[in-house]
Amino acid sequence: MGRAVVKPGDEDVAAALEMLTGANRPIYVVGPGAWDVRAQIISHAEKQGSPDKPTFKGKGVIADSHPNAAGVLGRSGTPIASWFMNEADLIISLGTSFSNHTGIERSKPIIQVDYERMQLGKFHPVALPVWSELGAFCDAIAPHAKRHPDAPDQIAEVAERWQIWRAEKSARMAEQADKGIHSFAVFDALSRIAPADAIIAVDVGNNTYSFGRYFETKGQRVLMSGYLGSIGFGFPAAMGAWAATRDHDVFKGRKVISISGDGGFGQYPMELTTAVKHNMDITHVLLHNGELGKISKEQRAGEWPVWETGLHNPSFAAFAKICGAHGQKVVNSADIEDALTKALAVDGPALVEIMADPELV
């Protein structure tokens, strides 16, 4: 027996349509709760000519290559998403939790749709709270929603903003000196070669922020611990994803990738032996900067001395080999893509240790 579908009330549908029709610059903000109905949401955004941007937890819900995609919103996000948030005159929030990390602007008119009724207006009032499953809401408004006749071409603006951001990202490579590799170089290469159907588990720290702003998804499924406090999450989460999808009809056979810093991987390094024992097909990308970089950054931001964040590490590539996995160390940005390509081709656990600059995130 299937469960009942929560559909929006007629008055809520009418109010949402009135707000949409009256908005010149509506935007969609989608969280991880939108994953199963992403096709409906993207279709609706296309008809409205509206930018569609995920929260960090929703990264991958819409591929960054899609014309409507405006990149991740929030502290781990892109200036593209921030720009459209500032310019918007209506926010349609679908399956998001309104965390401070995301930064949904509460002064804007907001339509919040959620199946969990207690989430509606939980952190601050919204103009229109709608208790509904996301797919049912989209189905209800799609036949009647119309673009404002004076609405600007936001999709052309999306393309223009991506062009500006990609040029800025590339220009940041000039910051790289002799202290290690720039995070942009890592995630620029991974963006190009990671399989479009991969499952990617990210850890906690500067590596995670860099992944959010620099990695351009093709629609990969991204796993994270939530509000970025559970250091050491990345590799164990990848192991769980590998085990959970072994016999899954949709995810079976997909490549699993995990990302961490040296601090995160150092929490549970011996799990690599378990991955070797069971021949888990996981590629781990490890940004090794010799410190708990995010903590150092927070200490500096608070005008405190940097205290007890330095780490004493082994060669993680050598450690991987000792455990029986593939291991390779990268010290030059020009070698990243080749190293990642080789690791992804391994049928089993592989680790790429990239010597990174803790300041270039």
Position 226 scores a pLDDT of: 75
Q: Measure the CA–CA gap between 107 and 109, rounded to whole angstroms.
A: 7
Q: Are 19 and 111 in contact (CB under 8 A)?
A: yes
pTM, two decimals, is 0.93
Token code pair at residue 112 = 């919040």
Token code pair at residue 265 = 């991987």
Q: Are 61 and 34 in contact (CB under 8 A)?
A: yes
Position 230 scores a pLDDT of: 87
Counting as low any pLDDT under 70, the low residues of the chain are 1-3, 227-228, 293
pLDDT, one tens digit per residue, over 84-139 is 999 999 999 999 989 888 999 999 999 999 999 999 999 999 999 999 999 999 99
pLDDT, one tens digit per residue, over 9-40 is 999 999 999 999 999 999 999 999 999 999 99
The DSSP bridge partners found for residue 69 are 52
Tell me, rounded to whole angstroms, the distance of Cα 159 from its chain centroid: 20
Q: Measure the CA–CA gap between 231 and 249, rounded to whole angstroms.
A: 31
- Computed over its alpha carbons, how large is the radius of gyration of the chain? 21
Q: Measure the CA–CA gap between 38 and 142, rounded to whole angstroms.
A: 14
Three-state secondary structure string covering the chain? CCCCCCCCCHHHHHHHHHHHHHCCCEEEEECHHHHHHHHHHHHHHHHHCCCEEECHHHCCCCCCCCCCECCCCCCCCCHHHHHHHHHCCEEEEECCCCCCCCCCCCCCCEEEEECCHHHCCCCCCCCEEEECCHHHHHHHHCCCCCCCCCCCCHHHHHHHHHHHHHHHHHHHHHHCCCCCECHHHHHHHHHHHCCCCCEEEECCCHHHHHHHHHCCCCCCEEECCCCCCCCCCHHHHHHHHHHHCCCCCCCCCCCEEEEEEHHHHCCCCCHHHHHHHCCCCEEEEEEECCECHHHHHHHHHCCCCCCCCECCCCCHHHHHHHHCCEEEEECCHHHHHHHHHHHHHCCCCEEEEEEECCCCC
Q: Measure the CA–CA gap between 41 and 54, rounded to whole angstroms.
A: 11
The CATH class for the domain spanning 10-160 reads alpha beta
Each domain of the chain, given as residue ranges in start order, spans 10-160, 176-355
Position 276 scores a pLDDT of: 98
Q: Measure the CA–CA gap between 72 and 96, rounded to whole angstroms.
A: 13
Sheet with 199-202, strands from edge to edge, namely 221-223, 199-202, 256-261, 282-288, 350-355, 326-330
Token code pair at residue 199 = 């499952």
- At the topology level of CATH, where does 176-355 sit? Rossmann fold (3.40.50)
Q: Are 329 and 315 in contact (CB under 8 A)?
A: yes
Burial class (CB in 10 A: 0-12, 13-18, 19+), 309: middle
Q: Are 206 and 293 in contact (CB under 8 A)?
A: yes
